[in-house]
Structure 1
Amino acid sequence: MKRLSIYTGIAFMAVALLLSGCVSNKKFRSLQASYDEMRTKEQELSRKYQDTQQQLSAANTRVTSLEDQIASERANVKSLQEALNQCLTSSNQGNVNISKLVDEINASNRYIQHLVNTKNKSDSLNMVLTNRLTRSLSREEMQDVDVQVLKGVVYISLSDNMLYKSGSYEISERAGETLSKIAKIIMDYRDYDVLVEGNTDNVPISQPNIRNNWDLSALRGSSVVQALQEEYGVDPKRLTAAGRGEYNPIASNESESGKTRNRRTQIIITPKLDQFMELIDKAPENGSSTGTADVSSDTTTVSPIRQ
């Protein structure tokens, strides 16, 4: 996407003023240093945003992979159970190693239960986190805060009217108490990463130091990240600031109410990616291969399959 750089504009203005004799060399160097610093910060924010988007996409892919594994293991258990039932009801169908089939069924059961327990644990932690946060918020605060759990991820959506000064990315005094409550929850759940993502409506921004809604949304996300770090002590290694401009709407921008909903900052709390990798890489204790052998007895006890 083609974008006009405000920093280039600042540099040209500084040169023009210097040539006209209105600005001293010292002032010019100060402007040049400010430009370089702002350019560096912009590049760092852009890099972190891209990294976080990739991580979030990978996390969602791994969640889908876990669900697919659960479905596949259930189908495998059903197939093994049917094969075992055929062996038990008909001795003329061949010599099958019932003991090995039982071991495979039990191994699959253990793996399924492990996946289910892990998913339930994650869901339970997310619900506890959500309930703790909503209980800590006052009725007035809940009018500006929306908390949801979607696909194993906690989304805390904050309205810009509460969070920022009008037309600015500076945190308002009104938002301090709400952010302190959210920060406490984040501090209690240290195994989770936090992405702060700014969003705007489609009305162009008109500020001398902000180029467009991309800038505004990224600056707002960065403001919240810095507040969480500097004022509430959240580890900055867990934090990422991002901006999505006007391109992630949740309502139509044709109405004022829709624009109000779209002007929001989301605090997204996600499990660390290495936890997903560890879960996916963990295999059942026994293999899933099949074999044949003589049936040693007519009666076999099979553990019940937990679906």
Structure 2
Amino acid sequence: MKLNVYLSIALVSLAVFSCVSPKKLEAEKAKYAELGNTYLDLQKRYRDLEDELKRCNNAVDKGKGDMVNLNNQKTALEGQIADLNKQIDYLKANNNTVLNQLKDLSVVTGSQAESIKKSLENIGAKDLYIKDLQGSIARKDSLNMALVMNLKGAIGNLDDKDINIKVDKGVVYVDISDKLLFKSASYEVTDRAKEVLGKVAKVLNAQPEIEFMVEGHTDSLPIRSAGIADNWDLSVKRATTIVRILQDTYGLDPKRMTAAGRSQYSPLMDNSTAEGRAANRRTRIVILPQLDQFFKLLETKK
């Protein structure tokens, strides 16, 4: 009986001591989880190192490729250097040949040396002369552009179809449509003509050294108006009418002006269309180049 009791007590004690407490179990679980996380970190680190190794290998391969390219460039440059050295040797040989030939030539006389010197001086003088001419032309172009801007500013917002200001080959042209200045098939001016001419005259009066020509232009249709013989007659009478207005009304010096008729023979557009004929019926003011000043420039530079 006692034996059975002792055995029971021993078994209960063994069972009690063999059971792990919940607290210790949780601690073990935490340790296991930490080991799992450490394992995952190690795996990630392993993959990162593998990627880094791949990048290093790629960089090495690229470096090898760059080295090959550099070697190719070096080879090409060495070839160019060799070619240049050959050219230098060739030039040296030619120089020696020329020097040997010069030794065989007669010595240049004093008069010949003086002639060569004068020729060089003339070349230098002509070079300066050309530069002066180029500068004069540039100044003239600048003055022409300033004149164009002044004319456009004075005329203001008039329709570009009725009045056109331009520079062509260094000459300033002002084209004014006949409908702004004259009644149809007539050299009698419109009410608006003096407004337009007054604006142009203001700019021309501010440039007293400028000379200009007033040209009358017509279309190709035969004139049918009493007192006018033909388009020649009409174009001349229109030009002289404008010149008189500029002189009598706006005080421009008549010595600065020339009146000319061009009839139908200097058209801007084809006279076969109504649009072309309208463009051709115009009065043109041509700012004349100052040839006398240009010739004076030539004389002073000789």
User: Shared fold (TM-score greater than 0.5)?
Assistant: yes
C-alpha deviations, 1:276-300, integer Å up to 9, x for none? 321333334xxxxxxxxxxxxxxxx
The alignment's C-alpha RMSD in Å is 2.3
Matches within 5 A, 1:1-307: 92=102, 95=108, 100=118, 103-284=121-302
Q: CA deviation at 1:135?
A: 2.1
Corresponding letter in the other structure for 1:113: K
Shift of 1:141: 4.1
Deviation at 1:146, TM superposition (A): 0.8
Q: Secondary structure at the match of 1:173?
A: coil
In the alignment, structure 1 segments of 5+ residues that lack a partner are: 1-85, 285-307
Amino acid at match of 2:284: Q
What is the rounded CA distance, in whole Å, between the counterparts of 1:256 and 1:141 in structure 2?
19
Distance 2:247 2:295 in 1: 28
Higher Rg of the two aligned structures: 2
The share of aligned pairs that are identical, in percent, is 41
Q: Normalised by the size of structure 1, how large is the TM-score?
A: 0.59
- Equivalents in 1 of 2:188, 2:173: separation in Å? 22
Contact between 1:134 and 1:142, CA under 8 Å: does it hold in 2? no
Question: TM-score, normalization: structure 2?
Answer: 0.60
Contact 1:141–1:178 (Cα < 8 Å) also in 2? no
Tell me if the contact between 1:111 and 1:283 (Cα under 8 Å) persists in the aligned partners: yes
Contact 1:152 1:270 in 2 (8 A): no
Aligned equivalents of 1:192, 1:248: Cα separation in 2: 24
Separation (CA, whole Å) in 2 of partners of 1:246 and 1:122: 31
Alpha-carbon distance in 1 for matches of 2:265, 2:126? 44
Bigger relative contact order (CA 8 A; separation at least 6):
1
CA deviation string 1:59-109 (max 9, x = no partner): xxxxxxxxxxxxxxxxxxxxxxxxxxx9xx979386556765653343122
Name the structure where helix makes up a greater proportion of residues: 2
| Structure 2 Cα separation of the partners of residues 203 and 175 of structure 1 | 23
Residue matched to 2:7: none
Report if aligned partners of 2:215, 2:260 keep a CA contact under 8 Å in 1.
yes
Counterpart amino acid of 1:233?
G
Q: For the Cα contact (< 8 Å) 1:169–1:223, is it kept in 2?
A: yes
| 1: CA distance, partners of 2:166 / 2:225 | 33
Q: Check whether the contact 2:178–2:282 (CA below 8 A) recurs between aligned residues.
A: yes
Cα distance in 2 for residues equivalent to 1:102 and 1:276: 26
